[in-house]
Amino acid sequence: MPKTESNLVWRTNAPLAPCTTLQVGGPASALVDVASREAFLAALRRADAERLPVHILGGGSNVVISDDGLKSAVIRIHGGTIDAEPGSDEQWNVHVGAGVPWTSLVEWSVRADLAGIECLAGIPGRVGAAPIQNIGAYGQEISNVLKSIGAIELDSREYVRFTAAECGFGYRNSHFKSEWQGRYAIMDVELTLRKGAPATLRYGQLASQFSPSQLPSLKQVADTVTTIRRDKSMVVDHQDPNHRSAGSFFTNPIVTEAVANDVDRRTTEELPRWSIGNGNVKLSAAWLIDHAGMKKGYGTEHVGLSTNHTLAIVNKGHATATDLTKFAAHIRQRVASKWGVLLHPEPMLMGFGQTWAELLSGLSQRSDDTCYRNV
């Protein structure tokens, strides 16, 4: 039974799998939903009183929680407002609470004719998590428009503000995902969006949906992105058999030019590759997986690659976190053997007490890997 104190509903031994899109993982010692900074601080005090460490969860769309669950108090931040005011020129400052669903913010911005995040339509999760891995898709990243972040430091309980430059944004990364991991709870973000500016059409597959003379509206672009994403099972739709995923499971690997050239030499096909400066090249994780012999749908009865997207690992309904991590290790191992490139998982691990590198290397070279098949 939930225990109520100071208006907090404190649920003990709470299942976490239903709080995540992968739908795996054991229970939390406690789970509490908060909708204000005061409630958040009250939840921290309660966790102290119960001697529990704290984990923050948003929409659970980018986490793998261990089958043992979390010996901690899990705090989920809900709700919040979107407040916008005009700045100089056509730039608008937009303040958003951490608990606002990301898709609601994109829909609001499109309606308000504020450009800058229209290509990020359809990404699940909440606004507070969006800067953690610098969400990106179809030619935009949140770091392109992020001005500042308000966060509570969990140890000191102090509210601090970071400028975008201080957050260390990179490709699917920020200080919040690396050296500051677990240190702050993001409470609000401030974006700079452009009133009346044209939509971003930087990504080839998106641009090709419109004629070169067309100047599509923000709504047309956001709708088109959502349609493309839906075809790849990249929106959360419970009717879709591929819906239990964390989106792309691996990031596109960044390798030296020498490694990219080596992969190129060993294939007769055209290798997708993008120079990103400093002698580094981004490769397509999906291409590497596919060309290591693992096609869409590859896997077992319980876990596999999405039938619509090579990069998504899907829980087919009864998988455990162990099934998923073993499968991820197997994919990484086969890609490394075939191409000499190590893939890095994108979701955050919770409750494993290990980094991804430690976990996956411990699981590699398994003798029972013959259970995985192409469909």
Q: Please give the positions annotated as active site.
A: 172, 248, 346
Member of 135, 225, 263, 328 binding ligand FAD (CB under 6 A): 135
Contact range with ligand FAD by CB under 6 A, out of 111-119, 135-143, 290-298, 299-307 = 135-143
Say how many CA atoms lie within 13 Å of 334 toward its Cβ. 22
Instruction: Quote the least distance from Cβ 261 to ligand FAD, whole Å.
Output: 28
128 binds ligand FAD (CB under 6 A): yes
Instruction: Quote the least distance from Cβ 126 to ligand FAD, whole Å.
Output: 4
132 binds ligand FAD (CB under 6 A): yes
Contact range with ligand FAD by CB under 6 A, out of 40-48, 81-89, 192-200, 242-250 = 242-250
Residue 337: both structure tokens together? 């053997």
Compute the distance between CA of residue 312 and CA of residue 285 in angstroms, rounded to an integer: 11
Measured from the CB atom, is 184 or 372 closer to ligand FAD?
Answer: 184
Q: Alpha carbon 360 to chain centroid distance?
A: 19
Outline where DSSP puts E strands in the chain: 3-5, 8-15, 27-34, 54-57, 63-65, 70-77, 82-86, 91-97, 114-115, 136-137, 140-141, 146-153, 159-163, 184-195, 254-256, 273-277, 280-283, 303-305, 313-315, 348-350
10 Å Cβ neighbour count for 206?
Answer: 20
Instruction: Quote the least distance from Cβ 326 to ligand FAD, whole Å.
Output: 20
271 binds ligand FAD (CB under 6 A): no
Residues 272-331 that bind ligand FAD (CB under 6 A): none
Compute the distance between CA of residue 74 and CA of residue 53 in angstroms, rounded to an integer: 9
Say how many CA atoms lie within 13 Å of 138 toward its Cβ. 26
59 binds ligand FAD (CB under 6 A): yes
Member of 8, 11, 14, 61 binding ligand FAD (CB under 6 A): 61
Q: Which residues contact residue 27 at a Cβ distance below 8 angstroms, ignoring those fewer than 6 apart?
A: 13, 14, 15, 16, 69, 70
Residues 171-200 that bind ligand FAD (CB under 6 A): 184-186
Compute the distance between CA of residue 198 and CA of residue 200 in angstroms, rounded to an integer: 7
130 binds ligand FAD (CB under 6 A): yes
Nearest C-alpha neighbor of 312 from the set 326, 297, 322, 300: 297
What is the three-class DSSP state of 353?
coil
- Render 220-273 in DSSP notation, one character per residue: HHHHHHHHHHHHTT-S--TTSTT-SS-SBSBPPPEEEHHHHHHHHHT-SSPPPE
Measured from the CB atom, is 287 or 339 closer to ligand FAD?
Answer: 287
77 binds ligand FAD (CB under 6 A): yes
Beta-strand relationship, 136-137 and 70-77: unpaired
Contact range with ligand FAD by CB under 6 A, out of 2-10, 120-128, 190-198, 252-260 = 120-128
123 binds ligand FAD (CB under 6 A): yes
What is the three-class DSSP state of 191?
strand
Contact range with ligand FAD by CB under 6 A, out of 53-61, 249-257, 277-285, 292-300 = 53-61
Contact range with ligand FAD by CB under 6 A, out of 32-40, 121-129, 199-207, 316-324 = 121-129
57 binds ligand FAD (CB under 6 A): yes
125 binds ligand FAD (CB under 6 A): yes
Measured from the CB atom, is 184 or 339 closer to ligand FAD?
Answer: 184
Measured from the CB atom, is 28 or 130 closer to ligand FAD?
Answer: 130
Compute the distance between CA of residue 6 and CA of residue 305 in angstroms, rounded to an integer: 45
Chain residues that interact with ligand FAD, rule: CB under 6 A: 21, 55-63, 77, 98, 123-126, 128-130, 132-133, 135-137, 184-186, 234, 236, 245-247, 348
